[in-house]
Structure 1
Amino acid sequence: MALFGSSAPSTTTSTTGDTSKDVEVAQAELPQDSISDLMFSPSSDYLAVASWDKKVYIYEVNANGVKGKWFFEMKGAVFGVAFAKDGARIAAGDSEGTLSVCDLRQANQAGGQVQTQDLPGAHGQAVKCVKWFQTNGQDFVVTGSWDRKIKYWDLKGSTPVGEVDCGERIYTMDVKDNLLVVGTAERHIHMINLNEPGKIAKTISSPLKWQTRVVSCFTDASGFAVGSIEGRCAIQYADDKNTSLNFSFKCHRQQDATHRDIAKVYSVNCISFHPIHGTFSTAGSDGTFHFWDKDAKHRLKGYPEVGGSITATGFSRNGDIFAYAISYDWSKGYSANTPQYPIKLKLHPIIGDECKPRPGTKKR
């Protein structure tokens, strides 16, 4: 998918990235409240965006730009959104505990709305995370909630086909192949083998000392990255044989202008892995995003501050576009959420070697 046509390859070796070619979604087509999650379709040129304004927006992205295609509304603020592998279905979860699924093949284009299959009361509290996975060729949705449970759904009925009690409120969750990783309050991280979805295979305490903000699975499902509220990211392998490869590093920190020994620390809100190269992005409350090579333990590019906290990120299916949302992330409490705080959705074309691993890096 070429955004606004093909771009010339980058010839610079600078580690400072360029956002001048980033494409911004028109103000009239943006959500009216903070963006909580986003995901590109794995099979088509669509981008789904979840918002606190109780809506899920589906945009079409092509050489002509970004255009709002459909939307659907839920009962509460939408916290999680995900495409099925076929790219035709979207699942979303909201603050009222509802799970909604829409099939874009049945979309009613009149008025831009789509029909949804709603499961109110899917959870006793907010549905924080929603993901799809496949087992034996069958599609399932897995939801994670503040009610401390994950539940599995085959969408053939209104009841889950399985559930697991995770012991604490679920803040973040990711799936890749048979690996499901769940991050909860009190810094617990659970790993589940989806060949045996009814039990937790392994539980660890986060390698980071402060509250877990995000987990994201490697592209080869051999492990995951963890981001915390304290400006740190950790690389964690699932197999105990690879513990020597685990490490953590500081990021999303700013040197104080007047005190060189003081740094301002910001939350790592989002981590997204490039689908082709296996490199990854971090984005945070400081309004910056960075691309990293975990195997070389090296930052590839760092980008200028974008004017507000980054609350959601994702790569397109071919890895040629990086989408990021700018909106309030509650890191400074209720009082900082003013009507003047920006809400933006931007698409960054991946040019040249921005996300390619360093030459000579051994892939693990």
Structure 2
Amino acid sequence: MANLYANPNPNKSVEVVQPPSDSVSSLSFSPKGNYLVATSWDNQVRCWEIMKSGTTLGSVPKASTNHDQPVLCSTWKDDGTTVFSGGCDKQVKMWPLMAGGPAVTVAMHDAPVKELAWIPQMNLLVTGSWDKTLKYWDTRQQHPVHTQQLPDRCYSLTVHHPLMVVGTADRNLIVFNLQNPQTEFKRITSPLKYQTRCVAAFPDQQGFLVNTLVLFIYV
């Protein structure tokens, strides 16, 4: 305990320059560069370039865009050029960040959008909402290519193709094989006592983790 007080920052953590003014709802690193995107309850989507000078990390604000209401989720396209974000305004926006273009709305739900993921193997964006649906989008089209009903509101989602797992209200865990995305592969009631808030798929697609208790579930 004495050492903690003597060195309150043992990992030499550094706050980003010009951080969000409200709670951060998601963090996403670019798959192609040292660019970090954060979404926040202040309605903003911000991007920083993370740089290292010797042993010191630093950040440079690069760009920002906004939603009409708090933003809840974000992800990058696999080529590292584009960011997708969704939130309480029921919209999903596509932001061509590296090209310097404005964000445009590419998807809509009937309630806040809580989760989204880009699936490069399908060239589709999947979005999960509190309207109890998953929707798959070809971003060149106005309407979803498929809408999947869920048993309750979407709270969490993870994709490691062909495995996708969705956590909903009432402790449901719905497993999809994205080679047949219109049919549930398996539905499980979480063995945890409380609502599922996060899930993460195994890299080998054989299972997934649930919540901060790191409960392993094989499919």
TM-score of the pair, normalised by structure 2: 0.90
Q: 1:125 aligned to 2:111?
A: yes
The structure with the largest strand share of the pair is: 2
The separation in 2 between residues aligned to 1:206 and 1:70, in whole angstroms, is: 39
2:67 alignment partner, one of 58, 66, 74: 74
Report the counterpart of residue 130 of structure 2 in structure 1. Answer: 146
CA contact (8 A) 1:75 1:98 kept: no
* Identity of matched residues, %: 34
Q: How many residues align?
A: 207
Please, what is the CA RMSD of the aligned residues? 1.5
Paired residue for 1:96, among 40, 64, 89? 89
1:140 to partner: Cα distance: 1.2
Contact 1:37 1:80 in 2 (8 A): yes
Q: Which runs of 5+ in 2 are unaligned?
A: 1-8
| Superposed counterparts of 1:170-181, under 5 Å | 170-181=154-165
Alignment of 1:1-364 (within 5 A): 19-26=10-17, 29-64=18-53, 65-107=58-100, 114-119=101-106, 122-135=108-121, 138-227=122-211, 232-238=213-219
Deviations 1:77-109 (A, max 9, x none): 1000001111111100010210100112321xx
- Higher RCO, Cα 8 Å, sep 6+: 1
What is the CA–CA distance in structure 1 between the aligned matches of 2:51 and 2:123, rounded to whole Å? 28
SS state of the match for residue 24, structure 1?
coil
Secondary structure (helix, strand or coil) at the match of 1:190 reads strand
The one-letter code sitting in structure 1 at the alignment partner of 2:27 is L
Any idea what the Cα deviations from partners look like across 1:97-155, whole Å, max 9, x if unmatched?
Answer: 10100112321xxxxxx4012146x10000000111123xx521110000000001110
What is the identity, as a one-letter code, of the residue corresponding to 2:98?
R
Which one has the largest radius of gyration?
1
TM-score w.r.t. the length of structure 1 is 0.55
* CA contact 1:40–1:48 (8 Å) conserved in 2: yes
**SS state of the match for residue 20, structure 2?**
coil
Alpha-carbon distance between aligned partners in 2 of 1:150 and 1:20, rounded to the nearest angstrom: 39
Q: Distance in 2 between matches of 1:169 and 1:213?
A: 12
Q: CA deviation at 1:207?
A: 2.1
Alpha-carbon contact 1:106-1:115 (below 8 Å) kept: no
Query: The residue matched to 1:220 in structure 2 has which SS?
Result: coil
Q: Which residue of 2 aligns with 1:276?
A: none
Give 5+ residue unaligned stretches, structure 1.
1-17, 108-113, 239-364
